[in-house]
Amino acid sequence: MADKDSVRRRIGSVLDEAGLKYQLDNDGDYWVPFEDAIVFVGPAVMGEISVAKVWAYVAVDVTGDTGSLLSYLNEQNCKMIFGKLCWYPETKKVIFESPVVADALDKPELQIAVLIAAKSTDDFNDTIVERWGGKKFTV
């Protein structure tokens, strides 16, 4: 399954099987709303490997001291078992990201990845916005 359309269909099928409510955005990525987070899932291909990209915007329009922000993100990433917090200076966003191999994607695997993204966003967004400015992501 090494093409994006196949991966996209597989993601949708697994989200349906998991009973997760979602919408499709203009790029064809799925977004799953939670109380304090919106988790996106989209297809990617790395050579022959199919990937379900799972991500959530932790904070947007972040303008504080990036040196201390990067130190904080690195410290948190060292504690994480699954996923990572990323800083994108060109867009001023902190994003939680976690790729999942999609070739044999199943319900528990995707469900856990989505829930961890939502929980991580909820765990970190208040602290990041409070210390480095910006705001929580909303649609």
Q: How confident is the model at residue 138 (pLDDT cuts 50, 70, 90)?
A: confident
CA dist 65 to 78, 98, 128, 135, Å?
A: 20, 25, 11, 15
Integer-rounded Cα radius of gyration of the chain: 15
Q: Can you give the pLDDT at residue 35? A: 87
Q: Please identify which residue in the block is written with the tokens 């001023």.
A: 92
In this prediction, residue 40 carries a pLDDT of: 97
What pLDDT digit, counting tens, does each position of 52-99 carry? Answer: 999 999 999 999 899 999 999 999 999 999 999 999 999 999 999 999
Each residue's pLDDT tens digit, 11-46: 999 999 999 999 999 999 999 999 889 999 999 988
Closest CA to 125 of 13, 17, 36, 39: 36
